[in-house]
Chains A and B, each alone.
Chain A
Amino acid sequence: MKLIRKMISFTKGIRGSMVLLSLMMTVSMIAGITVVAQIRYIRRNYELMSHTTGKADRLYYFMQNDFMMTDAKNREWIQSLEEEAAVAGVYPVYTVNPLTYGTGADETMISIVLYHHRLGELFPGLKQDYSGGSGIITASPVFDNLSIGDTVTLRFTRTNVKQNYTIVGKLEYPYYSLKFGGSATVPTVNQMFYSGGHLMMEGTPENLERLSNLASVSPSMNFILEVRDDASNEAVDALMLRLSRSGITVSLPELLETSEEEIWRQYRTLLPKPVFLLVVSIFGYFSTLILTFKKKERDLALCYLCGANRSQCIAVVLAGFALMALIPTAVCVSMLLILPVCDWLGWMTAYQYRVDYGCWLLIGGYLALSAGIALITSRLQMKDHTPVTLLRGVEQ
C-alpha cells in the first residue's frame, strides 16, 4: 500500500511523458510481436523442411494452374498421367468429407485425408508412414484425449452411416500434414503442408473404394509425381512439357532449395525491423528515463530527507516506471492470449503469422530489458547524487 502510494505520487508532474512512453512501448511491443510472429512462421517452414527428404531426384511436386477443374476431371488427369511411360506413380492426397465426430452439441465436423504409402516414405518426419490398414492417425486437438488403440465413432453425414475406427497413431501439435494445397510463383514446402486438424488414413485402393461409398472423396489439385528410374530423358522431357502446360513442376531437391532461399530472403527483409525498433525504443526509453529523473530529483531529495535510503529512492523510481509498463504489458498479454486462438483456428496462417512461446519470450525479454535499463539508469543517476547534492536542488 505504501509503495502504491509512492508510485502514484511519483507519477505526478510526469504523467504526460509517462503516457507517451507507455504508448511508445505498446506500439514497439506490438510491432515486435508481429515481427516475431512472422519470423516464427518462417521458422515453421524450416521445421517443415526437416520433415522432407530431398534425396529423391526422380520426384517432382506439381502445382496446377486450373483451380476450377472438377474432381472428376482431376481424377482423369491424374489417371492419364499414371499411364505416361515415364511415370512411376502420381501421389495426390484424397480428402474424405463430410463426416462428424462426437454427438449433440459436441459434434464436430472433421475430414479424413488419405495418403499413398509412398508419401509416408518421402516425408518420414511426419510419421505418416504407417501400416494401419483402415486405422486412423489423429492430427487434431479434437482427439487429444484419445490414445493409440482407442476407438472413435465417425458419422458420414451424406449417408448417415456410423463407423468405428481404431487410432493407430497420433500427430502432436502443430499437426503438420500433407495437404498439397495453394499455389505460388515461388513454390516452397509451405504450400505442401497444412496444420489444421483432421484424421489421416492409408490411401489403399480398398480404403478409397470403401469411403467413396460413404462420402465424397476428392483428390488434391497438386500432387507428387515420381518418374521411373529407367525412363529416357526424352520421355521425361515430354512429360515435363505436358505438365508445364497445366502448372508448375519442380523437383523435390529444387523445392527444398527454393524454400531455403525464400526463408533467407524473408529473414533478410524482416530482421532489420526488430533491430531498428529495439534501438529506437531503447533510445526513447533511456532518454525519457533520464529526463524524468531530472524532473523528479526534488521528490527524491525529499525522500532522502524523510529517511529513505538509496535503495528505497531507486525503488520509488522503479515502481513509477513499472506503472508505465502496465498498459503495454496488459495490451500485449491480451494480444498473446487471443492470437493463439486465432492461430489454432487457422486464421493466422493466412497472414503468415505464427504465435507461440517466441512471442512470450519477446514480451518477457522486452520487459526485462526495460526493467534493466530503468534499474541501471536509476542507479547511475543516484550514484551522481548524495542527499546533499539533491537537497541543494531543493534549496535552490
Chain B
Amino acid sequence: MITLENINKIYPVGEGEFYALKDVMLHIEKGDFTAILGPSGSGKSTLLNIIGCLDNPTSGSYRLDDHEITALKDGEKAKLRNQKIGFVLQDFALLNRETVYYNVMLPLLFSSTPYGKIRKKVMAALETVGLSGQEKKLANQLSGGQRQRVAIARALVNDPDLILADEPTGQLDSETGKQIMELLRELNRQGKTVIVVTHDDKVAGYCGRHFRVIDGCVREECKV
C-alpha cells in the first residue's frame, strides 16, 4: 500500500543542509498496524507528513496504492488526503468552538458527499468511537479522551484506508491512552491500515510492525 524509496527531506540551514530524512526505504502493506518510533527531532513527524501527503520529499519516490505522490499536484494530494487518509494528532486538532458534529463532518465538507448524506455518515462514525448522543456538545466541553475519540471519528468519517496517528496518547492519562490504542487496534482489525508515530514503547506494543527513526534514517525493528 505504501512504498517509500530513497526518500530524502533536506532543509537548508545557513549555507549548509540538514537531512531530516535520509534515504528512507519503507514498505507498509494494507492492513498493517505500524509504529514509527524515535526520539524528539529524529524526523518521525516529517516522515508522517510525507506519508500523509502534507509535505513533499526533496527527492525519492513515494507510492500510495497506485499513485506516485511526488508527481501529484497539490489539489490531487488534497483529494487523496480527503478520501484515503485520516489524521489523528497529539493535541486532537479540533475546532474547540464548534460542536462534535461539525468537527466530525469537516472532511465531508471538502468531499463530494451530498449534504443530505452527511448526517448519516457522521452519526455512524460517532457510534464507532462510542460517542453517540454527544454530537451537540462543543469540543471544548469534552474530556481529553473524548476529544481524541472525536478526532478518530473525524479521521474515519470518509472511510479512509489509512489512519495516521501522531502521538495519539501524548496528552492522555495512561488508562485513557490505553482505550484510544484499543480503539485504533479495533479499527485495524476492521481492515484499516494504521500508522502510529510515538516515542512510547507501550504504545508501540499495540502495533505489529515497528520502524525506528534515528537522525533521519529509518530501520525496521523486531517487535518490542
Binding site for B on A (CB under 8 A): 1-2, 5-6, 9, 12-13, 298-299, 301-312, 386-388, 391, 394-395
Contact = CB atoms under 8 A, between A and B. Distances in A.
Given A1-B115, A12-B95, A304-B78, 4 more contacts: A303-B110, A306-B107, A307-B110, A386-B54
Interface string B73-87: 011011101110001
A236 to B, nearest CB: 83
B109 interface: yes
Nearest to B50: A388
A307 B82 contact: yes
Nearest to B160: A307
Contacts of A307: 78-79, 81-83, 107, 110-111, 158
A303 B94 CA distance: 11
Interface residues of B, number: 31
B57 to A, nearest CB: 12
B182 interface: no
Given A303-B110, A304-B54, A306-B154, A311 B95 contact: no
A5 to B, nearest CB: 6
Contacts of B102: 5, 9
B49 interface: yes
B168 to A, nearest CB: 13
Nearest to A390: B54
B75 A303 contact: no
Contacts of B94: 302
B95 A305 contact: no
Shortest Cβ-Cβ A-B pairs, 10 listed: A307-B82, A309-B78, A306-B107, A387-B54, A309-B75, A1-B115, A12-B97, A307-B81, A308-B110, A307-B110
Contacts of A305: 54, 81, 87, 89, 93
Contacts of B154: 306
Interface in B156-178: 158, 166
B110 A306 contact: yes
Given A5-B109, A303-B106, A394 B54 contact: no
Contacts of A388: 49, 54-55
Contacts of B106: 302-303, 306
Given A1-B115, A386-B55, A388-B55, A309 B93 contact: no
Interface of B: 49, 54-55, 74-75, 77-79, 81-83, 87, 89-91, 93-95, 97-98, 102, 105-107, 109-111, 115, 154, 158, 166
Contacts of A302: 93-95, 106
Contacts of A9: 95, 98, 102
Contact of A13 (B97, B110, B158, B166): B97
A38 B97 CA distance: 46
Nearest to B167: A395
A13 B140 CA distance: 14
Nearest to B166: A395
Contacts of A301: 93
11 contacts: A302-B93, A304-B78, A305-B81, A306-B87, A306-B106, A306-B110, A308-B78, A308-B110, A309-B74, A394-B89, A395-B93
Contacts of A310: 74-75, 78
A12 to B, nearest CB: 4
Nearest to B158: A307
A354 B126 CA distance: 60
Contacts of B98: 9, 12
Contacts of A386: 54-55
A12 B109 CA distance: 17
Contacts of A306: 81-82, 87, 106-107, 109-110, 154
A311 B93 contact: no
A301 B91 CA distance: 13
A312 B74 CA distance: 11
Given A1-B115, A13-B97, A387-B54, A311 B75 contact: yes
B219 to A, nearest CB: 24
A307 B115 CA distance: 17
Contact of B93 (A2, A5, A13, A394): A394
A366 to B, nearest CB: 30
A394 B91 contact: yes
